[in-house]
Amino acid sequence: MNHHQPIPQRLIPSWVPRALALLLGVALLGACKTNVLSSKTEDDARQLIPVPICLKRLPRSTTPGAVVSLSSEEYWSLLLPSYDGGARTIDPSALDCSGRQSLARLSPPDARRIRVDPEKVTLAASADGMKIVWLQSHPLSEGLYEGLMAIMRQRESYMEVYAVGIHRGLPKGTRFTLQRMGPRLVVEAVQEACVGEGSDRRCNASTSVYLMTTGALRHSAAFPIEQLVRMPDRDGYGPVEYRFSASAEYRDTSIELTEHLSVNSKGQGETRSSDLQRALRLENGQLLASGESLWTKTQRELGIKPR
């Protein structure tokens, strides 16, 4: 039987324990860093490919592999399980498909059933089969409606819903677009009202921005993109036209806005123009404006009350 004799302490160089400790520390640090990077990569992937907050089975298509075409009424029943197709009513205090009471604050506390028009649905298709759906359940004054808005994607046999929120607007002239700010999904809702035809066509338009966070669509910003107003000229040359336009560029942590104002007088053409660059920057989950809109300043100068 062999007996191992302990190595005398004096034969072990003094630098060996320190070197071993250093190597162990580097290994542990590398492992921690790898775990942190892996966690961050997974978080980014979840944002790029959002996790559904609810899944709803769909009726199967008669053609294998085909996606069924849904009726307007089916969107109501999928997103709002309290929808009664026979009575065409919903319970505003009931849970939506994600388990939230999204509509509760839109109705009086004692409201149990409210009647809806199942045809009051706005759909907007986006990339990768994504859809934005707006159900107009609560009529307000002057043609305005409020109701549930959702980001969803339809598969062969089921519907994935990624986020829900509340949108207010005029059904006519509303269009939705899905944007990205880095890994974040953003819903851009443009409200446009136009009059006239051809070269005489004039429009007023504004944008509302909804950030998607943990399955919810939260209204985070609004800005004008096209505005026009005519004012009487004090010098008697006829009406003066103030025309405003803006373009938006979505970046990782901001929305960059380029604004232009043109002032035209009848018989004189353009008498003045102004340009402004500003941004809506994402800070702590909020979109904060770097400065006031050029159109807001113009309204104040003209004594026009903002809508």
Q: Residue 58: which pLDDT band, with cuts at 50, 70 and 90?
A: confident
Tokens of 147: 């109701």
Name which residue leads in pLDDT, 230 or 257: 257
- pTM comes to 0.80
- The 10s digit of each residue's pLDDT in 164-201 is 999 999 999 999 999 999 989 999 999 998 887 876 77
| Confidence band of 230 (pLDDT split at 50, 70, 90) | confident
Give mean pLDDT, residues 50-67.
78
232: its two tokens: 């009487």
Residue 277 and residue 258 in contact, taking contact as beta carbons nearer than 8 Å? yes
φ and ψ at residue 94, rounded to 5 degrees = -80, 165
In this predicted structure, what is the pLDDT of residue 234?
Answer: 67
Q: What is the mean pLDDT of the segment spanning 263-277?
A: 89
| Cα 116 from Cα 92, distance rounded (Å) | 11
How many Å is the Cα radius of gyration of the chain?
29
Q: Please, where are the H alpha helices in the chain?
A: 15-48, 72-79, 294-302
**Would you say 116 and 89 are in contact if contact means Cβ atoms under 8 Å apart?**
yes
Which residue ranges make up each domain of the chain? 49-172, 202-307
Count the neighbouring beta carbons within 10 Å of the beta carbon of residue 161: 23
Give the distance from CA 25 to its chain's centroid.
45
Alpha-carbon distance values, 172 to 72, 125, 147 (Å): 17, 17, 15
